Structure 1
Amino acid sequence: MSTTDRTTNDPLPAPWHSESGLPAPRRLVVADDRIRAATAHRLACEGTGLLWRGDYQGARQLLRALERRIDRKAPAPAATPAETFHLHRRFRAHRARVLGRLAVLLEPDHTLRLRRAPAVRAACTAAYGPPAGPRLVPLRELLGVLSAHQWRERGVPVPALDARVHPHYGVFAPVRAEYVDLVARAPLPPADTAFDLGTGTGVLAAVLARRGVGRVVGTDISPRARASALDTVCRLGLADRVTIGGPDLFPPGRAGLVVCNPPWLPGRPTSTLEQGVYDPGGRMLHAFLAGLPEHLEPAGEGWLILSDLAEHLGLRTRADLLTAIEAAGLRVAGRTDTRPRHPRSADRTDPLHAARAAEVTSLWRLALR
């Protein structure tokens, strides 16, 4: 291993770029295939970044070795589900910080000049935009960029649409079919117009259009999500019936049906992708409930698609949810439940397995009181 002492005041060889918001390393050493995993782990835990100059496959092997070393110290379950959840989140954040210190240099044209490196230019351009100079990126995040690009090219099958959806980088993919099926099967209220709030890939907006709603408006705060949703409706030939807007949660006007599938867990996201899972303080959930009466037609319905995982983890109670619904001037007109079918619900090695195994996803039909 060759070493270059770089303090926080010294310039890095290129601007640091982390989609997860990881801070730039305090020091940087140049590492290659000669470095031992124990040395790399010690340096990374100390806050030192490792700029990889060796074989690309060797970098991936080192990353896996670092993962094994970190995972040996995973915390044991705590006394309560909430404590276990918070311990698990803190451990995952520490894990991400340490693994994120193994970095690679992208050239000004988004190429990666390492032995046996794959072609990354197309994936990086899709994720980061057109090349605008060199950048230093965590290898782990670059692997996520490559994986996301494969998802986008292959697409995610959505049985309710009998089609594939091609999620853009940083947009939560509709891999959990149960919530899509809830929207595909629930009885539709009389509605010429529907709003899909937090549309993401636009999958629910497309389902509503396919079910016969004449006009659907999807909104999202994320520019990446809006681009992904527009791509979805264009691929499916629904651009004449579905429009995509934002960044406001609600579009102007009222609708006979307003659908919202907010992030299911109250918590701070640590990456762009986690914004589809974690919602600090349940802000989006409460904004949907508070704004629904002003945007719902008198005989319309608001559909809230929400998992009760937060309840099993002790992060929110059912009474909290019902109180928020009532405080917004709404009533529950009905509810349809379904069990998750994703692999993690059966993974007994997951520290949150008990909560995941008990999880129920519901479509709450809300109406004005």
Structure 2
Amino acid sequence: MDNIVLEYRDPLFGLIILVSLVFIVSFTTYYYGIYKERLARKDYRKLSRRFELGKLKEDDYVHLYKTYNLPFDSILLLASSFLHKGDYTKAINVYLTLLEHVTDRVKKEELLELLGITYFKSGFLQRSKELFLRILKFSPRNKEALTYLLIIYEKLKDFEKAKEVATCLEELNKNMQKDKIYLDSLIIINDPISSYEKKTNLLYETYKEHKIIERIFVQFLLQFNKTFFWEHVEDFKTKNIIDLMWYLNFDDIDFDKVYKNDYLVQIYNAKGYIDNLKHSDDFVFDILILLNKHEHKINATLNFEFICSSCKQVHPIYDTRCPHCHDILSFNVRHNLAKGLTQDNQSLQ
């Protein structure tokens, strides 16, 4: 009996027991860790396959952010794939879902900004406006929010508010001279009280100092005061407004003024409205003039594209603000030869 007690109290035996327990705990922890890692990898592979197939759900982004500690910027990069595909609803849902779980102020502001831009792109201007106003309450120097707010007010035809925002951006050392001239012109054009004659005179005074409003001034005149336009046609660079000249109705053209303007003579010879030129210095006009003189009428015309002088993007339709870079009055017109629509083609449309 004494021998048994002595054996049990042997320090070596206790050490063996301790080592055994440590080994068992370590072994169990190790294999449990491997088991958890396998589950996580399986879950991640499943999530990755869903991402490859473009089937990530809104909650999956939160799962990636919270479970796998994926960097916030990476999450936003993944979510931006919806924007590139034009799936604005999906992008909006992702940003709204992330907003519920993000607490950092900077990250929240970034999310609100992205959400506002997505609402803007999808046409929800009022929602976008509310978000940018919310951002500006706690971050009044946010230039991105102010810029989008200016464009939203412009699209909503609240030009006075847009000008106020332009002044705020100017105070933040952003050059807004062109925007303010443009907005002043729109305020004149959209004044419900002033007569067309008064608007014409005010715009003309602005145009004499700031040629950048040429196109919007000409558009106004061709719609409301054609007489003034033709009386002052020499004040305008007709190359800059060639598409407006091309699409004018025959009855709206003052040919007495046309014959005094070399470029207009070329345009309307190419159009086939007059016939007093054999050739033109402009290659495209020259082809059209020759085609008009062909014994077998060949149907050809001009088409136009507009190139932004800031970002160099090409657009099929003129806009006062580039939809790509948002620069103002930056489009230059370029004309090309195109096949005209025949009567048969038009009847099929």
TM-score by length of 1: 0.23
Q: Larger Cα Rg: Structure 1 or Structure 2?
A: 2
User: Higher strand proportion, which one?
Assistant: 1
User: Higher helix proportion, which one?
Assistant: 2
Higher-RCO chain (CA-CA 8 Å, sequence separation at least 6): 1
